[in-house]
């Protein structure tokens, strides 16, 4: 079934434009409530990031869910993974996150977790979309849902994060710069690291509703770098607006991305005998990561870009560790979804145990040079059905051999063909990428 509203990570758009309007979001709350309440009366957890539009959409969802007969538990601003945790802990029928993740403040979105803290299956999202086409009919007055607020959600989640590492692990003596992107981790992450003993220098912890992800956070490491260098900190840790992504930085200001952090975690689990199976990455995961895992004899699988696909592969294989270069890291042995704070703690625990720096911990993983060329197209192009493009790809793969890889794919959001080449030799990578781009241009011109 083709879906009209749900993408790979819920529903998202510009505030005030369909579907991110008050009337649609209220109807979405009602439709979700009707689908979710088919198993009986229950409670839905709602949390949000720090966007100014969150107040409006929180009220709209509350009204829709109550009209469908479901109770609502409001958490206020909380990281996305915290909402998954509370949903599971409260035995709620579902959790709802109001967030557009790393997007600017004028965007917002709605995403769902089931009662187990995992993202909704496709079948449930499709049922909600079908219900959106039905007329909104309220339950009888005596069955209208009630709303309450969880006052201690922050403290509960801080303790949960701390429990993800060994009790004896202390960060005492560490100086950390923690950048919260003026987002949902602003009142959570600094407290977690301080309570574990670290000295914390805060960046991006003064949200005003419109400065989320604005020049700070995981997408903009410059603010973190300035503080790390000025304060001679041991590490920098940066989250995105809703707290499910993390990037880290060493004392010299060098950023370590999701691939490098995932490698540290995977190797730490292997060395401590706790790695169950292998690791899942995406089509964009650096080839150097794959080769480093091979050297450690750790199995590896690639899936399409998106944490939904990473999660599906982990569940299918019975593995627990996967992630993306963007810093979205899933540790299923600790929690049910990508969690920036918990991922950072797994890295820090290993650094403390081994008495290593961040750079030392990932020194045996090489990030291969990568070139990406985005080519605008004016007409649909089926890459698999173009003999000239397929010939160019085969020629490139032959030239690279085992030292590199090629990926051509159509953008899912823009009229672009993305040409990506990576390998051990930077000049060779750039040359092959240019040749492939020319092959695509010729195919579109013809």
Catalytic residues: 101
Distance CA 135, CA 98 (A): 24
Q: Under DSSP, is residue 225 helix (H, G, I), strand (E, B) or coil?
A: helix
Distance CA 17, CA 3 (A): 18
Contact 343, 331 (CB under 8 A): yes
Q: What is the torsion angle, in degrees rounded to the nearest 10, for the CA atoms of residue 57, residue 60, residue 65 and residue 66? A: 140
Q: Which of 101, 91, 83, 104 is nearest to 15 (CA)?
A: 104
Q: Which of 391, 394, 389 is nearest to 445 (CA)?
A: 389
Q: Under DSSP, is residue 29 helix (H, G, I), strand (E, B) or coil?
A: helix
Q: Determine the distance from the C-alpha atom of residue 226 to the mean position of all C-alpha atoms in its chain, rounded to a whole number.
A: 25
Sequential DSSP letters for 292-304: HHHHTT--EEEE-
The residues, any chain, with a CB within 8 Å of residue 391's CB and separated by 6 or more, are 439
Q: Which of 245, 431, 241, 242 is nearest to 330 (CA)?
A: 245
Q: Which of 369, 368, 386 is nearest to 377 (CA)?
A: 386
Contact 125, 6 (CB under 8 A): yes
First to last CA, the chain: 34
Contact 47, 72 (CB under 8 A): no
Length of the chain: 446
Distance CA 211, CA 56 (A): 17
* Secondary element (H or E) of residue 107: strand 107-114
Q: Determine the distance from the C-alpha atom of residue 29 to the mean position of all C-alpha atoms in its chain, rounded to a whole number.
A: 23
Q: Which DSSP state fits 259?
A: H
Q: Which of 223, 99, 167, 217 is nearest to 345 (CA)?
A: 167
């Amino acid at each position: 079934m083709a879906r009209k509203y749900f993408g790979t990570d819920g529903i998202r758009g510009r505030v005030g434009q369909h579907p991110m309007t008050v009337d649609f979001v209220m109807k979405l709350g009602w439709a979700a409530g009707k689908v979710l309440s088919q198993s009986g009366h229950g409670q839905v957890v709602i949390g949000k990031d720090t966007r100014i539009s969150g107040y409006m959409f929180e009220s709209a969802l509350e009204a829709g869910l109550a009209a469908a007969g479901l109770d609502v538990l409001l958490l206020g601003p909380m990281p996305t993974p915290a909402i998954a945790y509370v949903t599971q802990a409260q035995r709620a029928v579902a959790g709802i996150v109001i967030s557009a993740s790393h997007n600017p403040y004028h965007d917002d979105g709605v995403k769902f977790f089931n009662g187990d803290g995992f993202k909704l299956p496709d079948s449930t999202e499709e049922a909600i979309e079908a219900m959106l086409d039905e007329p909104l009919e309220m339950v009888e007055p005596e069955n209208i849902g009630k709303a309450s607020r969880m006052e201690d959600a922050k403290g509960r989640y801080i303790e949960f994060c701390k429990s993800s590492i060994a009790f004896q692990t202390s960060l005492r003596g560490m100086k950390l710069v923690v950048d919260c992107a003026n987002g949902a981790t602003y009142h959570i992450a600094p407290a977690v690291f301080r309570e574990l003993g670290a000295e914390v220098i805060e960046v991006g912890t003064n949200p005003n509703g419109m400065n989320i992800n604005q020049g700070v956070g995981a997408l903009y490491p410059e603010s973190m770098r300035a503080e790390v260098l000025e304060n001679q900190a041991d590490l920098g840790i940066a989250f995105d607006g809703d707290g499910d992504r993390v990037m880290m930085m060493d004392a010299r200001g060098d950023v370590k991305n999701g691939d490098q952090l995932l490698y540290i975690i995977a190797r730490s689990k292997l060395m401590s005998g706790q790695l169950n199976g292998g690791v899942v990455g995406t089509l964009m995961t650096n080839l150097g990561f794959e080769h480093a895992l091979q050297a450690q004899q750790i199995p590896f699988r690639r899936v399409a870009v998106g944490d939904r696909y990473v999660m599906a592969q982990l569940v299918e294989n019975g593995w627990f560790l996967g992630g993306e270069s963007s810093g979205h890291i899933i540790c299923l042995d600790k929690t049910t979804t990508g969690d920036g704070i918990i991922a950072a703690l797994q890295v820090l625990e290993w650094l403390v145990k081994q008495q290593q720096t961040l750079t030392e911990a990932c020194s045996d993983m090489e990030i291969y040079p990568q070139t990406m060329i985005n080519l605008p197209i004016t007409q649909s192009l089926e890459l698999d059905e173009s003999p000239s493009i397929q010939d160019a790809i085969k020629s490139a793969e032959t030239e690279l051999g085992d030292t590199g890889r090629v990926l051509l794919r159509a953008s899912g959001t823009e009229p672009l063909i993305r040409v990506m080449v990576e390998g051990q030799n930077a000049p060779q990578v750039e040359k092959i990428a240019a040749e492939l781009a020319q092959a695509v241009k010729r195919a579109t011109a013809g």
